[in-house]
Chain A
């Protein structure tokens, strides 16, 4: 006859406990070993951080950037200025398609060189056809610009008042700040790219791989929501150089444009250039029928 086994006593207690102990120790070691990674992983959404939280996050990031790029970074979390709503105007009678704005922006905003990310995309269009995206050329290469019979339309984030990307994001990683800039919290973005499908202007770009920056040329004056070096797997886009405009300066593209085609200012300031343009020039926005209400205007100066 088979010996009846008492279920409680037949299990080898020491072996079970040994296995339990091993599992727990391994887990603890793994967690303890990646202390900062754990803090990164559990980091809160930017809008829910207290000033103390922000300080801690900045310290951690500055440390990380110092180790990676060998430069002292200064990460700002400057709030929007009171009474500002930024807008941009681009004079398409002046743009010659030189792309200096593209590369100025790349340098100022620490865009990845490899794989290449450009926040500004300059489209070459035919004067005869007018603003017609289907017949435009992003990859034009000429000896000299402007090329005969063509005009140029640089496109970047339009900082819409009714942004479809903000609607689409499932985790609220992107939102519109009170001064009108649509920003991304790079440490909250999960990389689902819903916003990229939603953007009608192709303004949002994805970090398909880890950013490849030139250590010498890295710009260490950054804003948390703007031009700080981004991790892989997150979306980025033009932020009107949030690190500059909130300090009262012009975005880099405005200053770099050799023909003065780019204008920027505060919509709420009656005396600003941008108000003058909107009130006096022939202004258009791209894809107006989509009701995105962009704050990026195109105009013809003459």
Chain B
């Protein structure tokens, strides 16, 4: 069994496809080039080309980073029932969850890299070579857990595909400890990212113990939404097989996570309104506006409303099993949580700032271009990895099929 051979053959797979495949890849490449040229301006001029300033020093990039960490953590939503309870219908599709995690983590790391002022100095964060401030700094913790989770998922999925490719049975005894370890790691990555925010006593909007549970709940209800849509697409365009029961089960688990998410949100609302301290001003900025400043009120309410609608759609079995409402719910929860972890998390945390001043932020063109490039890179990686996985799992792409084709030549 030659690992390099496996990589080489898989590479050949991604070069072959139908016209939809090529046009999708082409579209992504165009977006990447358009976006990357925007980033080059930022690299040369500095972050002044974004609209971040001293009062709002983290914005679009870090918002996207936070959301994508949640998506990465959500892969575990599928791992727990599949491996712990040995639930057959989910086993094959767990691989896609982990591939999604790998792609999301690459996007996360890219978002952090484009956000920092001196990307070339990122080596300062490496242990031993640099001077990492562990265990005091939460970003140092994030560096470790994200990398561990990344390599864990990459390793697990590579191993699984590799054994499938060579038509061998994977060694459960070797794999299971790593898989089990990835469960607390998934919880770790999102908790540590939450701690990055809630450890800051200076920002009362974030300085709540409930932030880590909220992050996990919203991650577990939005990440699998991507997979739900993906599985239906693959079912249509490839030989991908997945039973309806599996999809409905995922949706059901998501509904429970959504309930928790809404309950945690409700708890925060109660505390802010009932205790009625000055700290409520951030909450007020998000849902009511302060004076003339009501720029994000629309987004605050949209996020709450569509999350609630999605919850109902997934909770009620009839709408859960209906293909239209199921997909509608998946889209709604995805965007609901995207806003909740992006605009509705970052901006109210910084507005009003610690000295009571208000700065109105809107992403600049550079930020949008760079983010589009990074999302496109993530989508591209995910597409390529999925193509290989689908070929190996569902299209009988293996060492045997290659040798069979060679013999025919």
Contact = CB atoms under 8 A, between A and B. Distances in A.
Contacts of A189: 117-118, 121
Contacts of A242: none
A80 interface: no
Interface residues of B, number: 47
Given A188-B121, A196-B57, A205-B54, A168 B137 contact: yes
Interface in B47-66: 47-48, 50, 52-55, 57-58
B133 A172 contact: yes
Given A136-B355, A188-B121, A170 B132 contact: yes
A260 to B, nearest CB: 25
A169 B143 CA distance: 13
A132 B356 CA distance: 8
B179 to A, nearest CB: 29
Nearest to B43: A233
Contact of B354 (A45, A188, A201): A201
B355 A202 contact: yes
Interface stretch (A95-103, A207-215, A221-229, A247-255): A207-215
Contacts of A173: 124
Contact of A134 (B55, B131, B356): B356
Nearest to B45: A209
Contacts of B202: 164, 197-200, 290
Nearest to A200: B202
Interface string B74-112: 000000000000000000000000000000000000001
A191 interface: yes
Contacts of A210: 46
Contact of A192 (B116, B201, B203): B116
Contact of A170 (B50, B143, B201): B143
Interface string B19-63: 000000000000000000000000001111010111101100000
A121 interface: yes
A238 B117 CA distance: 20
Interface in A157-188: 164, 166-173, 188
Contact of B201 (A202, A234, A290): A290
Given A193-B58, A208-B46, A201 B355 contact: yes
Contacts of B257: none
B183 interface: no
A201 to B, nearest CB: 6
A284 interface: no
B174 interface: no
A194 interface: yes
Contact of A197 (B53, B57, B120, B133): B57
A60 interface: no
Interface string A100-133: 0000000000000001000001010000000011
A281 interface: no
B115 A192 contact: yes
B117 A41 contact: no
Contacts of B203: 197
Contacts of A41: 120-121
Nearest to B112: A192
Contacts of A171: 124-125, 130-133
B357 interface: yes
Chain B CB within 10 Å, residue with most, of A135, A136, A170, A200: A170
Given A190-B122, A200-B354, A207-B46, A168 B138 contact: yes
A48 interface: yes
Nearest to B281: A134
A156 B320 CA distance: 56
B352 interface: yes
Contacts of B357: 136, 138
B25 to A, nearest CB: 27
Nearest to B120: A41
Closest 8 CB pairs of A and B: A191-B117, A233-B117, A133-B356, A200-B202, A209-B48, A170-B139, A208-B48, A232-B46
12 contacts: A134-B278, A168-B139, A168-B199, A170-B125, A190-B117, A191-B116, A193-B57, A196-B57, A202-B353, A209-B48, A290-B201, A291-B201
